Every structure is written in structure tokens, then in C-alpha cells.
């Protein structure tokens, strides 16, 4: 897991045969997980001045590989007990977006990012999203894009200051949003099946009552769960 705070900007030494070699101050161990532009990768080689990671075919088909040159964001995996300053990330890129517009304002810069249609359902105003591994707040949601505002410190400590219109970026949607959408989808599926199968409908109803009673025994009511989800 990661929290979307760039720990270092590493230099790309080479990218060939699906292996990315980086020059960095960070000293990982063989087998460590590290996010590169938001993508969770495994350290396969360690050098005196850096390390190498390998990209599988699955990974390469879901990220903007053209950006694995010059400089990249890196973030080591969180350790148990560490403080979370951004939001929880898995390092599993959902898709590739594109910067469509950049507008400077009095104390920051607005980035408008086109989002793949299948990810639109996970975008919420004032919700969280990770762009190239950076945890950001969504200020506005449009039909096929989102608006993000970066303060001067974030621009300074990341590569965003060099981004131009047309750049493709890695997008990881919020973990809670993905699972919530999945639960809602499955509930709809179960509801449809229950209508055509009375026996299954009875089982689903019993199971829901059991889960509710189990949670309440632990001191959590459905109202409490809704409040927690709202605060998140």
C-alpha cells in the first residue's frame, strides 16, 4: 500500500526489455515494492546508485509507458504503523488520462484531466484520486474530465510543474469508491436473481439480517457505517 506522497524524483537510467533502471537515493532491498509514477512494481536488481524494476505485460497495457524516461516519481511501500498523509493507494493503475487544459490562478495551478469513461463513476467532487502516484483532491467533476488544483509546494516537489497539455497520466481511482461501486453492482445482481428465485430471495434476506446483527454486536450500526463512509 502507498499514500500518494512522492518521496523522491528518480532519474531513468534505461528502459529496455521491460526492465526500468533508476538512479535514486532510496536504497530498497531485493523484492521490495515501490511505486513508480503510481505503479506498484517489484525491485528485481539493486545497484550502488539505484535499482531496477520489471514491468509485466499486464502493467504495460494499463499505464503511460512513454513517460518512463528522464524523471519519474517514486514512493516506497508503506510500513505498518506509518502515518498516512494522503489517501490509501494500491499502486494498481485503473487507466490512462490526459491533461486537456492548464490554468494558473493566484496561488496554484488548475489541471483539467480527461478520464476514461469506465472510471467516471469513481470520480466524486472533493473525493480523492491519484495522478502519476500523487494523492490529489478532485475539485470539480465534469462529464468526461476532472479539475485538480495543485499548490506551489506540490508543483515544486513533483514533476507536475513540467507537465504540458496532451500529456498522458496514470490514474488510480479511490479504493473505497471502487469497492462501493462493486458492492452496489452485486446488490443489483442479487436483487434481479432474487426476483426470479424465491428461495434465493429468502436466503439473501436472512443473510442480510445476520450481517446486520453481527455488526451491531460489534457495536456498529448501519447508521454508524453510513457516517464513517460519509466522513471518508
DSSP3 helix / strand / coil % (the chain, rounded to 5) = 30, 35, 35
pTM of the model: 0.79
Number of CB atoms found within 10 A of residue 18's CB: 13
Domains with residue ranges and CATH for the chain: 8-76 (2.40.30.20), 95-174 (2.40.30.20), 177-231 (no CATH)
For 105-146, the pLDDT digits (tens) are: 988 999 999 999 999 989 999 999 999 999 999 999 999 999
Q: Give the pLDDT confidence score for residue 192 in this predicted structure.
A: 61
Q: Phi-psi category of 166—alpha, beta or left, where left has phi over 0 and alpha has psi -120 to 50?
A: left
For 168-222, the pLDDT digits (tens) are: 999 999 888 887 877 887 776 555 665 556 555 554 455 555 455 544 444 444 4
**Contact call for residues 91 and 4 (beta carbons, < 8 A):** no
* pLDDT confidence band for 64 (50 / 70 / 90): very high
**Contact call for residues 37 and 75 (beta carbons, < 8 A):** no
For 74-108, the pLDDT digits (tens) are: 999 987 777 777 787 889 999 999 999 999 998 89
Q: Give the pLDDT confidence score for residue 209 in this predicted structure.
A: 54
Span 23-36, average pLDDT: 96
Amino acid at each position: 500500500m502507498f499514500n500518494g506522497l512522492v518521496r523522491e524524483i528518480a532519474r531513468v537510467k534505461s528502459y529496455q526489455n521491460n526492465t526500468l533502471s533508476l538512479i535514486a537515493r532510496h536504497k530498497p532491498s531485493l523484492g521490495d515494492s515501490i511505486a513508480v509514477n503510481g505503479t506498484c512494481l517489484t525491485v528485481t536488481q539493486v545497484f550502488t546508485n539505484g535499482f531496477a524494476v520489471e514491468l509485466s505485460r499486464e502493467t504495460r497495457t494499463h499505464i503511460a509507458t512513454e513517460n518512463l524516461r528522464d524523471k519519474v516519481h517514486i514512493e516506497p511501500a508503506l510500513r505498518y504503523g506509518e502515518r498516512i498523509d494522503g489517501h490509501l493507494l494500491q499502486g494498481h493503475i485503473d487507466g490512462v488520462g490526459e491533461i486537456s487544459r492548464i490554468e494558473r490562478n493566484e496561488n496554484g495551478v488548475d489541471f483539467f484531466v480527461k478520464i476514461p469513461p469506465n472510471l467516471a463513476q469513481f470520480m466524486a467532487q472533493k473525493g480523492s484520486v491519484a495522478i502519476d502516484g500523487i494523492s490529489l483532491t478532485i475539485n470539480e467533476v465534469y462529464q468526461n474530465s476532472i479539475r485538480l488544483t495543485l499548490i506551489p509546494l506540490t508543483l515544486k516537489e513533483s514533476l507536475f510543474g513540467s507537465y504540458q497539455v496532451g500529456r498522458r497520466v496514470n490514474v488510480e481511482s479511490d479504493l473505497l469508491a471502487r469497492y462501493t461501486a462493486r458492492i452496489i453492482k452485486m446488490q443489483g445482481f442479487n436483487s434481479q436473481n432474487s426476483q426470479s428465485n424465491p428461495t434465493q430471495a429468502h436466503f439473501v434476506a436472512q443473510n442480510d439480517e445476520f450481517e446486520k446483527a453481527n455488526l451491531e454486536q460489534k457495536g456498529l450500526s448501519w447508521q454508524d457505517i453510513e457516517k464513517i463512509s460519509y466522513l471518508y
